[in-house]
Structure 1
Amino acid sequence: MTDIQDAAPIEDRIAALPDRTLFLLDDDQALRTRLGRALESRGFVVTAAGSVAEAIEVLKALAPAYAVLDMRLDDGNGLKIVEAVRERREDARIVMLTGYGAIATAVAAIKAGAVDYLSKPADADDVVKALLASGDEAPEPPENPMSADRVRWEHIQRVYELCDHNVSETARRLGMHRRTLQRILAKRAPR
């Protein structure tokens, strides 16, 4: 019962918005569909895309008031789309999503014009809170932030990917023993 009461004010705030258009960009179709439906159920008018090329085409006809963009896509970087959204609509509120949380990319996203930066899998309520936070107030922290072990694991996975899955090079860059890294890579992601 409490969840319904907590959700009502958010839905009322969204319904009162003069423009509820939202552009969603993510190359993970399951996440894009799930998040798109969740945002629509809260009152946004969602248009979704799965690639940078598709996003550029969609943005030729759409000037969204809100955008939720994935940072890393198969065919490019979501920062390019932040700029494209800003060109179409200067006052758009943009939230960046990423599976590879890093301070450098968070800073780049904010400098490009995003209002917040959330790690995947992001809860729809956290996304809405970030989108609706006023300019002078920071959004509330997420209900279920990633654990320190998960952040460490994500960082290791990111460096491993950047090193083209070369265990020796990844271990050298992370300053750890190769066998230790192999044990970490063989385990499942922590929660």
Structure 2
Amino acid sequence: MQVWIIDDDAALRTLLSTALSGWGAHVSGFGSVEEALRAIEGGAPQPDVCFADWTLKDGPVLRVKPLMPDTRFVVMSGNPAAEEGLPKDIQWLAKPFRLSELNRMVMAER
């Protein structure tokens, strides 16, 4: 399983990457929307799941979603109001969350 993490918090990316790798996922991490867009434009294969922070400095993470139509997209945020405006095909993971919650979401994909 290929998983992407788009989050500008390097420590969180590292933590999630370590956990996901331990569960057998192949993980790619990006610190910005622009980094993820460059990977897509460069021909990177679409991930099975993408976990993305809702609030990134370089713009809305939803710019990435249309370019990955077959990817399950999960938005992570500590702002509960953000969940209300999400399209129905995007899942929500409230920060802070337990790694067991992340594990359940990843295992649901398998």
TM-score, normalisation: structure 1: 0.51
Q: Which residue of 1 aligns with 2:60?
A: 77
Which structure shows the bigger proportion of residues in strand conformation? 2
**Counterpart residue identity of residue 27, structure 1:** D
**Structure 1: gaps spanning 5 or more residues:** 1-19, 135-191
Question: Which runs of 4 or more aligned residues in structure 1 lie more than 6 Å from their structure 2 counterparts after TM superposition?
Answer: none
Which structure shows the bigger proportion of residues in helix conformation? 1
**Counterpart residue identity of residue 67, structure 2:** A
**Structure 2: gaps spanning 5 or more residues:** none
1:82 & 1:128 partners in 2: Cα distance?
22
2:96 & 2:10 partners in 1: Cα distance?
13
Query: Is it true that 1:119 corresponds to 2:94 in the alignment?
Result: yes
Query: Is it true that 1:23 corresponds to 2:7 in the alignment?
Result: no
Greater Cα radius of gyration, structure 1 or 2:
1
1:25 & 1:107 partners in 2: Cα distance?
21
**Equivalent pairs, count:** 107
Kept in 2: contact 1:66–1:131 (CA 8 A) = yes
1:84 & 1:108 partners in 2: Cα distance?
20
Q: Secondary structure at the match of 2:11?
A: helix
Aligned partner (choices 7, 24, 41) of residue 43 of structure 1: 24
1:120 & 1:43 partners in 2: Cα distance?
23
Root-mean-square deviation (CA), in Å?
A: 1.7
Kept in 2: contact 1:79–1:109 (CA 8 A) = no
Structure with the larger RCO, 1 or 2 (CA within 8 Å, 6+ apart): 2
Deviation digits for residues 137-190 of structure 1, max 9, x if unmatched? xxxxxxxxxxxxxxxxxxxxxxxxxxxxxxxxxxxxxxxxxxxxxxxxxxxxxx
Q: Which residue of 2 aligns with 1:108?
A: 85
Q: Secondary structure at the match of 1:74?
A: coil
Instruction: Report % sequence identity.
Output: 31
Q: Secondary structure at the match of 2:29?
A: strand
Question: How far apart are 1:95 and its partner, in Å?
Answer: 1.3
Give the direction of change, closer, same or farther, for the CA distance of 1:42–1:84 in structure 2 (3 Å limit): same
Question: How far apart are 1:131 and its partner, in Å?
Answer: 3.4
Question: How far apart are 1:110 and its partner, in Å?
Answer: 3.6
1:41 & 1:74 partners in 2: Cα distance?
29
2:36 & 2:77 partners in 1: Cα distance?
17
TM-score, normalisation: structure 2: 0.85
2:66 & 2:95 partners in 1: Cα distance?
22
Question: How far apart are 1:41 and its partner, in Å?
Answer: 0.7
Kept in 2: contact 1:95–1:131 (CA 8 A) = no
